[in-house]
Each structure stands twice: as structure tokens, then as C-alpha cells.
A and B are shown apart, each in its own frame.
Chain A
Amino acid sequence: MGAGEVPVGCVFVRDGRVIAKARNRTNELRNSTRHAELEAIDFILTEPSLTPQNLTWEAQSTALSTTTLYVTVEPCIMCGSALRQMGIKEVYYGCGNERFGGCGSVLGVNEDGFHPTFPGYSAKMGYLRNEAIMVLRRFYLTENKNAPVPRAKTGRVLKTEILPPLEPRKT
């Protein structure tokens, strides 16, 4: 949030150890696809101590099969699909993303049978949910001044009431 980015952060854990952490860098890189998850995946794949180098892409598509992702907000459809193509073991996220969540809220990209070859993964919501929601609310209280075409958002008030999660949309 200090960098003027939409505040989403993630941590990848393998064998009880944090192997990568990243945050959203869409504004800094002028690239709206540089979400935290994809930043961390690129780091893991290029770090020789974490991933054997010079493997084929087919071999690398199981690179995260023993790795768990913790992320503040439900991965979007893009990241949900990317995680599946990387063979992620499981995902824990703070709050759901009712606009474009890819792990159940809008589409269940992680579900068994959603892809012909890459296996599904479990995605559970609720870890530090309230904290995740409040970080986002504090951010959106002001304008996302680095995003293209900002809308006027003066006079916003920080709400602190947090409603229970919705049932996942059936896909």
C-alpha cells in the first residue's frame, strides 16, 4: 500500500519454510497482469536453489506440487489458472473476490475436472479474513492514483463492519 499499489500480498511455503513472497506490482510495472502470485512464481522458477533449471516447460508445470500458497485475497481467474498450470498443492486466502475470484467466487478454476490435464487444488478462505478486508478498504478509501483513468472518490468513509462470506457461486 505504501507503494501506491492495490495491497495484495502472498507467501509461498514449501516444507514449512517460506520460499517466496511478493506483492502486486501492476502500477510500478505498468502491467495489469503483474499480480503478486505471478511475481512470486517467476521468482521461484528463476531461483536455482528452489527450482532445477533447464527443465522443459512440461516438467516445470509441476514445480509447485509441494508448495502451499497463502494470499490475502482470493486469486483472480488469471492467477487461479496460472497456479493450476504450475501444479500448486493448495491455496489459503484471506477474503473472497466477488468480482473476479477464480477459486470459487466467480469461477472455480481450481476444481477437479475443470482442466483436461492439470490436477485441481484445494482453495480455502478465511485465514486473517478481516485483516485482509480492512487493508483493501483502507486503500480504496483514497484514489488508486496510479491506475489509469482514476475515478473521483472523495468523501469516502472507512466502514469497519464485515459481513459473513457469501456461498460460492456454483459453476
Chain B
Amino acid sequence: MFISQEDVPWSKFESNVEKIRDDDESFPTMDAWIVSFTDPKAIKPLQEYLRGRPTLWEQVQHLKLIRRGVSSSEETIFQVVVGVSPYPPNDLPAGYSTPEQCQIPATPSLTRAQLKMKNELWPTVFTPHLLPAEIKFTEAEVKRITEGLQLAVDEAVRARAIGELSIAGCLLPDQYLDSPLVSHDTRVSTGHPLRHTVMNLVRALADKVLMDTRAPLVVVDPDNNLVIADTDKTTSISRGVDTPSPLQNGEGYQLTGRTLFITHEPCLMCTMALVHSRVKEVFYIFPMAQTGGCGSRALVPELPTINHRFNVWRFKQEKLASTLSSVETIVIPENLDA
């Protein structure tokens, strides 16, 4: 039994960069450097050139590497993409013409119509399986998400009661987390302008990992023997010199694979911190129109060069009162960073 996007109280926040429809009249393009030649034997050295450059190779995966055309004198012309950086490649094998810059499609074709249209610029691969699936949730997922959001609200209410800003977040239990992990803003109590919910949460997770994996600390005891320190009693010892033990199997970035539930749209600092810690998706309740980094001021995970993407879900404001309790008590001024 599935519940569709229209019937859940949150909606996916998507940028307008690439709306994928059959009737699209435009598509994203990128600059590329191409070389042209007529001798088919000249293709192979270029294929080897491309395979030897993994970064470039990755960036042209959505393209057919060779474009075949016919010149005015009915001669077959081959063209190959040899670079996508702003600068022309300067290390091509000898004997090729100077690369020319041109615009080519930046994404593969998801429909036949796109394939035909993009082909005018440069042939792309056909990947209908990448068409976005219809968004739907199971009842259990809806229940879990609502629970996560309500836990965040409850934590924000608690934070407000002790004098903090009423901003809070929550992770639900997973393979490495026995119980929900909540965190709230501590700017007021610490007098530190950067102690936001996300930063506090990421730090709590990192410290937990550090405690679990740190190699025993060796210290010199009063009799000049090397002993393994009782870490509970040696917090004053400088730990700057000991190196972390190698990463354990399964240990990733702090938020790898995890879903964050948070009361207010994270600010730019916190949104980028979520990128750095590789969160899988974020559900937030209140948008922060002037400061938010998850769709309001910018949609950081969709910026073209960002090296990690995550899904952003925003609560439908008209569904607040009927879905979450006490949510009306945790509104904050709209010019604050959450």
C-alpha cells in the first residue's frame, strides 16, 4: 500500500536545473574541446588518451565519444571529445588538429525525443532507466518520517524551555545507533555563534566514533614505566600527538546513509556541513527564506560542482497543525540562521 507524493505532508525540493520531460525544449549543455579528422586509424590513439584520464573519462560517460559527419566534399569526418575543462588540452598525441571548443549536452538522454534533440549537438547515450520514478511512500515510511520530525519538534520545545533557540534535529536508530540521537542549538548557553543544531550533531557523532576507535593512549607513570592510560582520568593529557587508528570496516562519514530530521531549514554553514558529512537526505519543517541553504537562499546540494548530493524534503506548511504537535511554539525569527 503506497501513499503518493500528493498525500504525504512533505514534498521534495528540486532545483529547476534539469526538469526531465519528453517535451523539453532545452537541456543543459557544457563546453567541450573536440578534434576533427578523416582517417579512422586516428580514433584509437584518442580512445587510449581518454581512458588514461579517469577524471575526463568520467565526465564524458553520458556521450558517444565519436561523432561521424560528412564534409561538403562527401568525405567522412570523425570528431572526438578530448577535453571538458575551460582550457584546451595541451598533451594530445601528435598529429591532430588544434582542438576547437563547442557546446555539447551535459546529460544523457532519458527519452527518445531528448536523444533526437541532443543528437543535433552531439550524440549521447540513451538511459531511459534513469527517468525519475514516481515518488511514493509506504505507510511505515510515513510513520517513521513523522516520528523523526516529531522527535525533532519535541527536542526544540525542550531547548526552548531551557533558554536555547528552539531549533533541533534528530537521527532515528540504525545499524550503528541504538536509540534516536537528538541535538539542539546551543548558541545561547555557549555564547558561541556557530553552535547550531547540525554542527552539534555532527560533532556528537564524530566524538562517539573517536571514543570507540581510538587506540589506547600510552603514558609514562610516576615510576617511569610506559602504561596504557585510563582514558577516563587522563583527559588533561594532550592528545595532539597520538594518531587515530585506521578506519574500521563500515565506518564512513558521520552521516553516510542517514536521514536528518530538523525543525528549521539549515543555514548555509550547516547545509555545507551536511554535504561534508555525506547525509543521505534531509526533512525540514520550517523554511528559512532569508538564510536557508536547502532551497531558500541557495540549494547547496544541487550546485553544479558540489561533490555530494542529497535529497531535500520540505514540510507542507498547510499540513503542520494536523500532523505535528507543539510545532506552533518553536517558530524563530526569519532572519536567524538555523
Contact = CB atoms under 8 A, between A and B. Distances in A.
A86 B298 CA distance: 20
A31 B202 contact: yes
Interface in A112-164: 114-117, 146, 148-149, 163
A158 B15 CA distance: 37
B273 to A, nearest CB: 5
A interface, by DSSP: helix, strand, loop or mixed? loop
Interface of B: 86-87, 187-188, 190-195, 199, 202-203, 206-207, 209-210, 213, 243-244, 247, 251-254, 256, 267-273, 275-278, 290-291, 293, 297-298, 300, 303, 305-307, 334-335, 337
Given A31-B206, A33-B277, A61-B193, A148 B307 contact: no
21 contacts: A30-B206, A30-B209, A30-B210, A31-B202, A33-B273, A33-B277, A54-B191, A57-B188, A57-B191, A59-B191, A81-B272, A99-B306, A100-B303, A106-B303, A106-B305, A107-B298, A107-B300, A116-B291, A146-B244, A148-B247, A148-B253
Contact of A60 (B87, B193, B199, B303): B193
Interface in A1-46: 3-4, 27-34, 38, 41-42, 45
B210 A32 contact: no
Given A28-B244, A116-B291, A81 B267 contact: yes
B177 to A, nearest CB: 15
Among the interface residues B86, B243, B293, B337, which one has the most CB atoms of the partner chain A within 10 A? Answer: B337
Contacts of B276: 32-33, 76, 78
Contacts of A33: 199, 202-203, 273, 276-277
Given A56-B188, A60-B191, A102-B268, A116 B210 contact: no
Minimum-distance CB pairs A-B, first 7: A31-B206, A78-B272, A81-B269, A81-B268, A77-B272, A116-B335, A57-B187
B194 A85 contact: yes
A80 B303 CA distance: 16
Contacts of A114: 297
A56 B203 contact: no
Contacts of A3: 243
Contacts of B188: 56-57
Contacts of B277: 31-33
A117 B290 CA distance: 10
